[in-house]
Amino acid sequence: MSKGVNNEGIKIIGGLVCKTVRNSPSAEREIKFLEELIHKNIAKIVESNVGFMFTNIYIKKYDYDLTDYARITDGYNVKDLFTQLTVGLGYIHSKNVVHLDLKPDNIFISDGKIKIGDFGNSLYDNVDKYNNVLSYYHNELSFDTNLIDPDNKDYITPLYRPPELLVEGRAKAGKFSDIWSLGCVLYLK
């Protein structure tokens, strides 16, 4: 989302970023959560179009992602940015949503304001709401329902994944996963 970025499937159109993805549960979740989560620290969805095979998700364009911002900005206020990030994540968790892919590439900045984006891996933390459990078993994710894309093995980027989800055995991802990822973002920045 940063200046000059034009990754495959990403187009900059005026003040908007158009993310084109294959139709999938991940695309549906991203649209759903971006529409539901209205907050000053959450990326703003402008429009979405679901086609036969692809979905276009239009969000407001932000100047940088956190990776680029840290690289080009000397002496930025880490405490202020981290506070904004914590407030945004607190809001997400207050809505009983778990982000599950919090990392610098999914944190956007414009005019010193943090916006959390990319909700394609996000889930409700309330297991009873959809009888939905996300679990990690023997280094592969297994899913109890088809609400989660079973072909996507990239839930929680490994560098930001809590240790209990890295070891053999079964552990459920939850809000603690986002808190761990948040700490990793602070440590790495």
| Cβ atoms of residues 79 and 51 within 8 Å | no
> What pLDDT does 150 receive?
32
Give pairs for 43-50: CB < 8 Å, separation 24+.
43/108, 43/115, 43/116, 43/117, 43/118, 44/115, 46/16, 50/23
Looking at 101, 118, 149, 178, which residue is catalytic?
101
37-47 pLDDT per residue, tens: 999 999 999 99
Which residue ranges of the chain lie beneath pLDDT 50?
Answer: 1-8, 127-154
Mean per-residue pLDDT of the chain? 77
> What pLDDT does 147 receive?
38
> What pLDDT does 89 receive?
96
* 68 belongs to the catalytic site: no
> What pLDDT does 40 receive?
96
